[in-house]
Structures are given as C-alpha cells and as structure tokens.
Structure 1
Amino acid sequence: MTAATLTLRPATDADLPALARLMSGANPRHPVTPQTWAQEIAELRGHPLGLHFTQWLAEQDGQPVGTALTLHLAGMHHPDRYWAEVLVPPPHARRGVGGRLAATLEAHLQARGAREVLSGAYEDEPWALNFLTRRGFSETMRYFDNVLDMAEFDASAWAEESQLPDGLRAVSLAELMAQVGVDAAVTAFHAAFAEVREDVPRSGVATPLTLEVFRARLKGPQFFPEGILLAVTDAGEVVALSELRPNDSDPARLDTGLTGTRRAWRRRGLALALKLAALRLAGDMGIREVWTGNADTNLPMLALNERLGFCPRPAFIEMRWGGV
C-alpha cells in the first residue's frame, strides 16, 4: 500500500457496518456491533451538553482499512478535553494508514483548540503505546479486564455472603419496574447510580449524571433490566447495584457495568451479595464468561474480583496529551 492510494473521508451513518468491523478488528477484546455504535453516537449527538463527535474512514481501493474518531467525554466533560482513537485492524496495520489518520485527527483537534487529549492502548501492544508516546502522550491510569470462567465458579461456596442484611431485598430492575412502575423504578435506580459513579476512579472530575441523560442510556440494545440487580430498602430506596449487560458479538458472554454501594451503606457486603446474585443469574443463563473492568487504583474491587475467581487480562493504559 502506498500513501497515494489511500483516501480518507468523514464517516456517515451508512458506514456503520464497516466502522463496527474495523473497530472490532482493532480491539477484539471489546467488539462493537453497528446497532450498539449507532446508539452510542446518538447519545453523543443528543446530549444536552452539546458534545462533539467526529469519525473518519480510511479506504484502500474502496475497501475500509481503518478509522479514527474524537469525541467529548460525557462522563468527564470539559469543552477542551477530547478522547481520540486511531483504529487499524492487524491486516492493514504498519502500512501508513494509522499515520495518515493520526495526522487528520491532530489537525482537527488543533483547529478546535484542544488543550487535553486522552487515548490509550493495551500493554501487550507496544507499537501502539510507542505511537502515542512519539506524539507526546504519557500514562495516566491503567484499567484491567477481569474475566470469570463460569465453569470455575461455585455459587454454593458463597451462600453466607449472598444474604443481604435485614431490611433490604434484592430485586432486578425489571422486577422493580413491575412492582412500582417504570418511572419510579428508573428514578430510584438513577439516584443510586449517580452517587456510586462519582467515586469510580477516573483521570478527571466526574460530570454529574442527570436523570434525562440516564434515561437515554437505558434505551440502547445492551439494556438488560433483568441483569441489573439492586438492593432496595423497605421505603423503596436503591442503596446498591450490580449491572450485567449482554455482549452483542458473543451470546455466551456477559459484560459487567457499574457495581457499587451508596456511601451511607458501605462496608456491609451489599456489593458482594448483588454481584453473587448476578453471577447466579449468569450461571442460570448458561453464560460461558463474565467480563468486568477496573482501574488499577480501585483496590477493593480488584480484590473482590480476585476472591470471586476473575482473572486479569492485559491492562489498557490510558494516556494523556496536554491538560485542563
């Protein structure tokens, strides 16, 4: 491949199938379907903060070979902070595609006056880390994928830890919706979710999560109310949660969303009890693997996952250029 034969253009909604294939090929650990990516783009475009999003497609003789994207982070928003990615699957890598995409991306961010850019790569991809280092990026955090082989998980060994304290009951979001109505259930779920996520380790200050934005999050193809386990008081307050969501590309895999407990209710084993309920559900569904992700600074959750039998995979290294 030569640079003269490579063309770059802004991606359109018609390119979603090709974009999903490229993104999944470049990061097979976390594949994405056209439906899921379309939903994520829709959430960005419809966000009340007016988030920026742009994606490009690289083509060789009319065939998609790579993509680059940049966006404002909804969960950690600053108008001059951007997330950026260059994604080239192995068959097309090291042929100049990534360099051309990066140059286009850098020019776009420079024109927008970006003061901070976040990106990253896995620790077993030294070429990608070097690609970022050469462009002035340095490490900020590490995130571990932790994977549980359900064939190795024995729910009966956790009978005592599976029990919630008196005054609390474990229900799924689907069950809570049936009991109190959709609006009341989502409002109670949001109150807990919004508080718990504020304490999740990240490289910037968390943006408050409004109920409006939260409702939009529940409309995607990965919304699985039966897999959202909640600890609820007699008064109807949600005080802890553990989320499972389907993996669109692998029906035998479930991914973990947020797990945690509201501040006033911590150190009572609620998160562990709900996580165990989620894993029992996964076992009943015949799931092969459950994946979860944790920052290297989240020592309590890393220790909990290790106790449960989750095994760490190579870390994703978040890197930063500049700062706000």
Structure 2
Amino acid sequence: MTSEPLNRLDPAAVTVREMTPADHAAVAALLTAVNPDHPITAESLENELKFLRESSVNPHLWHVLAEWQGQVLGAASVLQFPGQYHPDRYSLDLGVHPDWRGHGLGTRLAAEVEAHLQARGARELSAGAYETWPVSVRFLEARGFTEHMRFFDNVLDLGTFDMAAWEAERHLPEGLRAVSFAALQEKLGREEAMRAFHDAFAEARADVPRTAPATELTLEDLTKRAAEPSACPEGVFLAVTDADEVVALTELWRSDAGPHRLEIGLTGTRRAWRRQGVALALKLRGLEWAREQGVTEIWTGNATTNRPMLALNERLGFRPRPAWVSFRRGSVDEG
C-alpha cells in the first residue's frame, strides 16, 4: 500500500462500517503495519476474537473499519478484556495505516467510537501508544485521556546469552522438579494437568501489576487459551512437587513474527514458594529449550512498576524497548 496525494482521498468517499470475517486478512495487515514489532496474522486475529467471544464473562466486542476504494485504511476496536472485566470498563484500539495518516481518518473513527461508547454508557476507557509515537499520544490527550501506567517490551538476544554462566541457578529447591506442561499432561491427563496449572496460574496472576483489578480466568477459559494455535505446551515449564502440585510456571508462546522468536506469557510463583529462585530456574529451562528449537529472540512485556520481574529480566540480559504508555479516561470507581 502506498500513499496518495491528500487531494486524492475524498473524505466523502470513505466508508466507515463494521468489520466482517471477510475483513480479517486486511485488518491483520493493517495492524501489522501500525505496530510492526507485534505482527499479527489473520489466523491469530480470528483466534483472539474467538477466545474473547467464548469467554465466560461474555465481553462486548465491536470493530469498525475506514475503507476507501476497497482498501482498509484504518480500524477501531472497542472491547472488554475478560481478565479485568467490569460491565462499564472498555478498551480502545485505534490505528490508521502509516501511508494514510493526516487525512482525518483517526478523527472520523474516534467520532464513531465516542457515539458507540456513549450509547453503552461506558464509564471507563483505556487506550495506549508507544512513547515514541508523539502524534498518537497527543491524539489521546486531546480526547481527555491521561497516562495511567507504562509497560516495557523486553527483548533477549539468545545468540549472545551465556547459558553456562547460569548453571547454579538452574537448580530448583529440594522437593521440586521441573517439567513441561506437555509432560505433565502426558502423566496426569489433560483435565488434571489443566486443573493443576490453573491453580498456580490463578494465584500467581493475581499479584501481577495491571491497569485494572484482575478478574478470574476460569478453568474453562484457560483450557480454551491452551488450545490456541500459538500455544506451545512443550515450552511451558512448571515447578511441581512430588504430589504433582504446580507451584510456579513460565510460558513460551509462538510469535507471528516467525520461528526465530518466542513470547513469554505469564511467569509466576505461588506465594509460599517465592524468593527461592524458582521463577529464575524455570525461565532458564525455557531459554535452554528455546535455543534448542533454533529461536534467537525472546520477547516479554512487563509493567514498569513490576520491579521484581524487571530486575530478574535485566539480570538475564533482557533489554527494554520504548515504553507502551497506557492511558485512561474515567473510572468505574468514580461515583
């Protein structure tokens, strides 16, 4: 897609309409152009939407496109995240293709979003932009958003990682052993393995800094999550007791960026086992496994307030990229 002179785009000829399944490939291409560090395929977009639609909390989802001469030039999504659900809390994602910025498409889509949210009586809305996107930051601030939190993408170059230097830290405390989720599932069966995983996941996740209070992801939700194409059960490492109780975990997920890259999902430890090096030992197992698969980059995201995990990642050699700034307008806690 290449840009046209400004006078070639007649605003009256731009159609704003709701997204259909036939648009998924074009929308995925748009989202990748807007944020190339986090590419997404049509298949991944479809699976994300499927997971949201099937969530136990039945979240609201609404997607509109700005289309001109058959090209998707911009898109906006209003949705409710199951993991921090409140009936009056929404999240906004709005993007315009880099070749078509400055044509008023963002303003047009924002007006559609405002009308939709007003009709729903929304009380809280979050959105975000990288600190290196000043136009996007000003766009949000002009519409009443204020900065709420910041998150880093942290990236580890596995090609320069010295695994041998971490040999002592790979050992778990006495009474624990490391297994992959795939191995635990083979031993216990899928249902029991998921139940053990869910118990540890829920406790560890409850203490992760986030933009809104965590709401429960049920066993059924996690089972569906584990069935997504990007899930990698061989790359999910668990610390388990002799009774197969999961006390800590770290997840690796496949990335749409390609086989050279994996993404870390949740890394966490149940409260009774914290500050004993368990999370570090599991991360090292995951890094070793990833290198064996030919992976050269590991990406993870951390809130800038999550000092323990940021410190751990910094020790391992992860390096932060520009911060993602989370903005908020309104609050469900306000009267």
- Bin the TM-score by the shorter chain: over 0.9
- Aligned partner (choices 33, 39, 57) of residue 49 of structure 1: 57
Q: Output one character per residue of 1:88-124: Cα deviation in whole Å (capped at 9) or x when no partner.
A: 1211112111111111111101111000000010000
How far the C-alpha of 1:182 sits from its partner, in A, is 1.1
How far the C-alpha of 1:27 sits from its partner, in A, is 1.1
Which runs of 5 or more structure 2 residues have no equivalent in the other structure? Answer: 1-8
How far apart are the structure 1 equivalents of 2:218 and 2:186? 23
Query: Following TM superposition, where does structure 1 have runs of at least 4 consecutive aligned residues deviating by more than 6 angstroms?
Result: none
SS at match of 1:236: coil
Q: Identity of counterpart residues, as a percentage?
A: 54
Aligned AA (1:112): R
Q: Output one character per residue of 1:120-165: Cα deviation in whole Å (capped at 9) or x when no partner.
A: 1000001000000000000010000000011110110000000001
Q: What is the match of residue 92 of structure 1?
A: 100
Q: What is the match of residue 103 of structure 1?
A: 111
Q: Output one character per residue of 1:13-35: Cα deviation in whole Å (capped at 9) or x when no partner.
A: 11110111111111111111111
Q: What is the match of residue 72 of structure 2?
A: 64
Aligned AA (2:166): W
Aligned AA (1:42): K
How far apart are the structure 1 equivalents of 2:140 and 2:107? 11
Q: What is the match of residue 206 of structure 1?
A: 214
How far apart are the structure 1 equivalents of 2:256 and 2:327? 28
SS at match of 1:57: strand
SS at match of 2:169: coil
User: What RMSD, in angstroms, separates the aligned Cα atoms of the two structures?
Assistant: 0.8
SS at match of 1:161: helix
Which runs of 5 or more structure 1 residues have no equivalent in the other structure? Answer: none
SS at match of 2:170: coil
Q: What is the match of residue 130 of structure 1?
A: 138
- Aligned partner (choices 266, 271, 283) of residue 274 of structure 2: 266
Aligned AA (2:218): T
Aligned AA (1:157): A
| Structure 1 position 173 matched with structure 2 position 181 | yes
How far apart are the structure 2 equivalents of 1:31 and 1:89? 14
Alignment of 1:114-129 (within 5 A): 114-129=122-137
Aligned AA (2:229): P
How far apart are the structure 2 equivalents of 1:23 and 1:275? 30
- Aligned partner (choices 188, 195, 200) of residue 203 of structure 2: 195
- Aligned partner (choices 3, 15, 38) of residue 23 of structure 2: 15
Give the count of matched residue pairs.
324
| Range moving further from structure 2, 313-322 or 46-55 | 46-55
- Aligned partner (choices 157, 160, 168) of residue 149 of structure 1: 157
Aligned AA (2:304): D
Q: Output one character per residue of 1:215-234: Cα deviation in whole Å (capped at 9) or x when no partner.
A: 11112111100000000000
Alignment of 1:175-254 (within 5 A): 175-254=183-262
Aligned AA (1:202): R
How far apart are the structure 2 equivalents of 1:223 and 1:151? 23
How far apart are the structure 1 equivalents of 2:118 and 2:39? 30
How far the C-alpha of 1:10 sits from its partner, in A, is 0.3
How far apart are the structure 2 equivalents of 1:46 and 1:151? 39
How far apart are the structure 2 equivalents of 1:43 and 1:101? 25
Aligned AA (2:256): D
How far the C-alpha of 1:177 sits from its partner, in A, is 0.8
SS at match of 1:136: coil
How far the C-alpha of 1:47 sits from its partner, in A, is 1.6
Q: What is the match of residue 78 of structure 1?
A: 86
How far the C-alpha of 1:249 sits from its partner, in A, is 3.0
Aligned AA (2:244): G
Q: Is the 8 A contact 2:56 2:218 kept in 1?
A: no
Q: What is the match of residue 265 of structure 2?
A: 257
Q: Output one character per residue of 1:237-268: Cα deviation in whole Å (capped at 9) or x when no partner.
A: 00000000110231110011000100011011
SS at match of 2:47: helix
